[in-house]
Every structure is written in structure tokens, then in C-alpha cells.
Amino acid sequence: MKRSNYILSIVLIIAVMIGSVSAYAAGVNFSDLKQSNWAYSYITDLVGRGGISGYPDGTFKPNNNITAAEFVKIVVALSVGTKGPVGNHWASGYMQVATDLEIVPEGMLPEDVWNKPLQRQKMAVILERTAQLVNKEVAVTDSAKLESIKSGIKDYDKICEYCSEYVVQAIIRGMLTGYPDGTFGPEKTATRSEASAMIIRLIDKTQRIYPTSEKSLDELVTNKEVMVELKDVITYTYDPNAAKYEVSYSGSTSKGFLNVKDLYVLALIQGDKIVDQTGSIPTDNKGNRSAVINTDITKVDYILSYDNATGDVIVIPNPLKQ
């Protein structure tokens, strides 16, 4: 891809992403959901789309496990449409649609597990089959790429044989990720926060987090000359041509929020590789944005960002580089 086309693609993707997030996040307010929650933007986006809701007491309970019925219902509702019950269970209609469309393989989710937490490996199956069968996304066939992802999953041998190909495809497609220690945790369950992130990435490609890119910085940016010396504080201002960019970070080293003003963060760079890409970046009433980071922030060299006002793609040194 030509550099100019790549930059244009970034601009278009960000424009669409910012518009959708601002609209969907408006008016979402739960007593137990703060903007500092790593999944805040995913949750507010999903709530705004009508995929998930809170509880009567005004809470969202982001750390509660999501059940098989809840997960399938949200996927079907947002990918196909709403469906009333066809049996005794409230989600029976959605489960029937999922089975008819083969989103859920026959026998994978018998009714006696509908109210139980769903394993991550089965979530991968549902997400990937929806991407292929409903969204008509093509499966990756590049054997080298498939093998690279497979070999990078430390607990790959613990993934069920049927689920394994779907896990790999879903990771390549950017719908879900593994853990910082290199494992996938196939038999682990997922919280409402984690499920919200997965489902948003299914229905909105601009919010997917792809595996490490092999693209060099020369293919990503044209103005590396704007890099400046990092000041010895976490929050700093970068001021090219009187346009101020404020950047700070909050959270642990492996997960947290990159807070920016007047910027849309696109990717984190280590050496000449992308090690993380941000999802949706909600904006508060002061023009501040918080991007979810799921990598070791202390090892990131540069932050690749887009200035909406000037149209520039810029690279900023990482404030927490050790």
C-alpha cells in the first residue's frame, strides 16, 4: 500500500470511529462504571447500540461473568436482529437463530449451559463463525501467518481441537487477544467488560486490535522529523507550530489508559513494529480522550497519533519509556 493511501485510510477510519463513539457513548451513566475502566469505551458503545444494558439499581456490574445465553443474544441481536423466545428460556429465540445460521455449532451449547459462564474458546468460535457466515469476512489462509499466531499461544495445546482454528482466526482478525504472559486461557470465562470489547470488535472493524504488524515506521508515517526530546515528567506538552498536545498515562504497566488531548492515538511502536493498536477513543466535554492500552507501556518507544485539526500523522516519544 502506498504511504499516502495508508495515511488516508487512517484518517477515514478515525473519522468514522470518532463519530460513532461520540454518539453511542452519550447519556450512558452507571454508578459502578468509571471512565478509568479499561473497557469503558467498549461498554458505552455497546450500550448505545442496544446490545447490552445495566441493572435496575443503576449499575453495570462490569466484572460479572457473562453467560452463554447473554453472549449469544448480543451477537445475534446486533448482527441479525432481535428475536423473541420460542421456548421457556428468555434467550431461546436467539439461540434458535444462532443454531439455524450455524453461528453456534449444533451441540456446542445445550440448554443446560445457557445460564452458565461461557468459555473464551467458545466465544472465539461464535465470533469467528459470525464474522464468516453473517458478515461474509474471508478466513485467512496464509499458512505462515496462521502458524505464527498458533506458535505464539503458549497454551495452544489446551484449546479444544474443534475450537483451535477459530481461536487463531479470531486473533488474526483482531476480535480478541491473549494475555500479557502469552497464554490465551481457552477454558477461562469472560466478564461483561471483556465480552463487550469482543463484540464491539466483531461488529466494528475500526475497533479491532490486530496482532503485531510487520510494517516498518517508514510505511506508517512521513514526518518522523517532528519527534522531540522527552521531558522528565509523565504528563508533557508537545508544541509544534503552537498546536499543543498533552499526553499522560494512568494504570498498571500492562493495562491502563493513555490520555490525550486534541489527538487520536492510532498505535504504539516498539522498535519498528506495532505492539498495540487502540480501539475507540471517547471524548469528554473538555476534548480529552482516553485510549485503552493492553501492552507493557514501559517498553513502548513511540506513540503514533493523528491530529484531527491539521490532518498530520505524528510520532511522539513515550512518556513512560524506561
Which string of b and e fits 44-64 if b means at least 16 CB within 10 Å? Answer: bbbbbbebbebeeeeebebee
Of 3-12, 25-34, 143-152, 205-214, the one with minimum mean pLDDT is 3-12
pLDDT higher than threshold 50 for residue 204: yes
User: What distance in Å separates the CA atoms of residue 266 and residue 284, rounded to the nearest whole number?
Assistant: 18
Q: Long-range contacts for 46-49 (Cβ within 8 Å, ≥24 apart)?
A: 46/74, 46/196, 46/199, 46/200, 48/23, 48/24, 49/24, 49/78, 49/203
- Could you tell me the CA-to-CA distances from 8 to 224, 275, 315 in Å, in that order? 17, 21, 16
pLDDT at 157: 96
pLDDT at 191: 93
pLDDT top residue among 1 and 76 = 76
pLDDT at 136: 94
pLDDT top residue among 221 and 73 = 73
C-alpha cell at 82: 432481535
pLDDT at 70: 96
pLDDT at 203: 92
Work out the pLDDT band at 39, boundaries 50, 70, 90.
confident
pLDDT higher than threshold 90 for residue 236: no
- Nearest partner of 294 among 264, 251, 242, judged by Cα: 251
User: What distance in Å separates the CA atoms of residue 128 and residue 177, rounded to the nearest whole number?
Assistant: 13
pLDDT, tens digit, 9 for 90 and up, residues 85-115: 898 999 999 999 999 999 999 999 999 999 9
pLDDT higher than threshold 80 for residue 57: yes
- Identity (one letter) of the amino acid at 242? A
Rounded to two decimals, what is the model's pTM? 0.65
pLDDT, averaged across the chain: 77
pLDDT higher than threshold 80 for residue 294: no
In the sheet that holds 302-306, the strands lie side by side as 273-277, 264-270, 302-306, 313-317
User: What distance in Å separates the CA atoms of residue 255 and residue 258, rounded to the nearest whole number?
Assistant: 10
Residues 6+ apart with CB under 8 A from 6: 219, 220
pLDDT at 244: 54
pLDDT at 121: 97
pLDDT at 284: 61
Mean pLDDT of 66-92: 93
Q: How many CA atoms lie within 13 A of 143 on its CB side?
A: 0
pLDDT at 245: 61
pLDDT at 290: 73
pLDDT, tens digit, 9 for 90 and up, residues 131-189: 999 999 999 898 988 998 898 899 999 999 999 999 999 999 889 988 877 899 999 99
pLDDT at 224: 39
Cβ atoms of residues 48 and 20 within 8 Å = no
pLDDT higher than threshold 50 for residue 302: yes
Q: Which domains does the chain have, with CATH numbers?
A: 3-207 (no CATH), 217-317 (2.60.40)
- Identity (one letter) of the amino acid at 319? P
Cβ neighbours, 10 Å, residue 241: 7
Residues 6+ apart with CB under 8 A from 145: 172
